[in-house]
Amino acid sequence: MAYNEELASRIRHALTMFPEEFTEKKMFGGIAFLHQGKMTVGPVKNDLMVRVVGHKMPDILTHDFVRPMDFTGKPMKEFIFVSPEGYKTEEQLQNWIELGLEHAKSKL
């Protein structure tokens, strides 16, 4: 298993609550959920990958269970990983999805 299937299922379900349309694409050894071709969130192993608008990164990185996405060994700009403890509840997951959607919309 390259990514947490349960998390992917939870994301799919949560996305049905949004009026926006999303697509899925295999990326980073997991799945990325995209809005109009722009990455928002996705499971990578057991972590949740989230895109974050640049000016929010310093604050977001102070949250518990959040770290820079260092997939290549070097932090990637505007990407974070959220550990499982940070997306336990549906409300927490929804908040991360909203943050990722905000990033996608900022790039349109």
- Residue 101: pLDDT above 70? yes
The confidence score (pLDDT) of residue 4 equals 95
The confidence score (pLDDT) of residue 73 equals 84
Stated pTM of the model: 0.94
The confidence score (pLDDT) of residue 34 equals 98
Q: Which tens digits make up the pLDDT trace of 61-81?
A: 999 999 999 877 889 999 999
Q: Which tens digits make up the pLDDT trace of 12-31?
A: 999 999 999 999 999 877 89
Domain ranges of the chain: 5-92
Q: How far is CA 41 from CA 94, 101, 107, in A?
A: 11, 8, 15
In 1-108, which ranges are E strands? 23-27, 30-35, 38-44, 47-51, 66-68, 79-82
Average pLDDT, the chain: 95
Interatomic CA distance for residues 2 and 62, integer angstroms: 28
**Burial state string for 62-83 with b = 16 or more CB within 10 A and e = fewer than 16:** eeeebebbebeeeeeebbbbbe
- Residue 1: pLDDT above 80? no
